[in-house]
Structures are given as C-alpha cells and as structure tokens.
A = this chain, B = another copy of it.
Amino acid sequence: MKVLIVEDDPLHRSYLHEAVCSALPECETVIEAENGIAGEQFARDHKTAHIVMDLQMTGRNGIEAARTIWKERPDTRILFWSNYSDEAYVRGVSRIVPDGAAYGYVLKSASDERLKLALRSIFVESQCVIDREVRGLQQKSIGHPNSFTDSEYEILVDIALGLTDRAIAKRRNLSLRSVQNRLQHLYDKLDVYQTSPEDRLDSQFNLRARAVAVALLRKLLNYSALERAEAELQDWLNDQP
C-alpha cells in the first residue's frame, strides 16, 4: 500500500507520517507533499489511492486539491484531517465527494487512537469515518428548519463576493425580484435584524453587509470558501460578453 500525505505544517506532517506507519504496517511507501499543488501532482504521478489531506493550506487548499484528484480517479480514498469543523469546510467537502467514495473527516484535536482507527477503517475497510462533531453539522445542515438550503447558501456567497442583485440575477438566471426574495429568506434565517435589544433601534445594520458578517462569525463562510468562490466568479466574468 502507498499513502500520500498532503499537509503544509512540517510538525503535523511528520506526526502523520508516524501515525500512518504505525497504524498501517502493510504500508510500504509514504509520500509527503507540502501543499495542494504538489499533492495533486504526486497523486497523479504515483497513482496513490490513499491520501491524508489537510484542509486550509496556502495556495491551493485541500478542498480544491481533493476535487481535482477525485475528478481524475473517483475511487481514491481521502482522509481529511483538519483543525476546524467550520460549516463552510464541511459543506465544501460534502459537495465534492463522489458517489460511493470512501472518505473521512477527522479533527486534529482527536486522539491518536481515533486517527489510527480512522486510517484503518478508510484505507483498509473502505468505510466512511466522519468525526462526531462534523457529523452533527452535516445532520443539522439538512432537514433542520434553521439550516440553509443550497440556494440560500449560493446567494450568501454571491453577496459575500460583492455582487449586485442585478449581477446575481444574471449569473444565476433569475429575475431581479427572485434574487431579492432569496435574500429575504437569508436575512430571516441569519437573524440579521438585531432584534435582541427589546425596542427598535432603527436597525443599525445594512442587511446585506450584516448577513456576510454573521455568516463569517458563524463559520458558515470562511476564507477558503470565499477564495474558491472568487475564482469561480472570475471565470464566469471572463465568459461574459
């Protein structure tokens, strides 16, 4: 078995290396990549079917790297090993995992034991292993009334990028009013009206900007999500007349 480690922090990388060797004695080769670009390259060159990947790396982050890797070979098994369980990450990951692929999401704060168990489960047994905390987010993010639908999330990203209503309408093929309609829903769910102080303070907030702020504070959005969205936006802009 060959395992590829993609992780930009040297300390974490060597820790992972050790964990992999001890959890998977049958693994004869461990390759280390220190960023997403190199990770993609190594995955291609070495045809590795087993990857441990950090999210949040500078340059190309884990989600982007995983997406291209999975696009080239959807049966790759990837264990995401991250410091955070931001909803933005969780959503980003579940958006790209191919049907039937075995993958995992383990937090760096998890114990040694847990990490090794996850390594075996995913790489040997082809099981999905999702950290309980992350699982909780995934659950909540479907079904629960106070969660966000894809369309609401989409429009959240669009206003976070700074698009006007009109531009969003054009991009998403909607009417102006529909965009505003969706915004309405978003504002409601994000509880952006600051009604907390009992009486009316004439809403001190610019709803649009406030929505972005609370989304960031709640980790519904993070830098990495913004970065990806910005790249997509630029692509789209270049295709416009």
B226-A223 in contact (CB<8A): no
B206-A217 in contact (CB<8A): no
Residue of B162, B211, B223, B227 touching A205 (CB-CB under 8 A): B162
A226-B230 in contact (CB<8A): no
Residue of B12, B203, B214, B216 touching A223 (CB-CB under 8 A): B216
Task: Closest B residue to A167 by CB, please name it.
Answer: B204
A218-237 near B? 1/0 per residue, CB < 8 Å: 00001100110010000001
Task: Closest B residue to A216 by CB, please name it.
Answer: B226
B212-A230 in contact (CB<8A): no
By size class, the interface of chain A is 35 or more
Residues of B within 8 A of A12 (CB): 11
Given contacts A9-B108, A11-B11, contact A209 B240 (CB under 8 A): no
Whether, in the assembled complex, A159 has its beta carbon less than 8 Å from a beta carbon of chain B, the answer is yes
For residue A44, give the distance in angstroms from its CB to the closest CB of chain B.
Answer: 26
> Which residues 1-27 of A sit at the B interface, judged by CB distance below 8 A?
9, 11-12, 15
Residues of B within 8 A of A230 (CB): 213, 217
Given contacts A222-B223, A237-B197, A237-B204, contact A209 B162 (CB under 8 A): yes
Q: List the interface of chain A (C-beta within 8 A of B).
A: 9, 11-12, 15, 83, 108, 159-164, 166-167, 192, 194, 197, 201-214, 216-217, 222-223, 226-227, 230, 237-238, 240
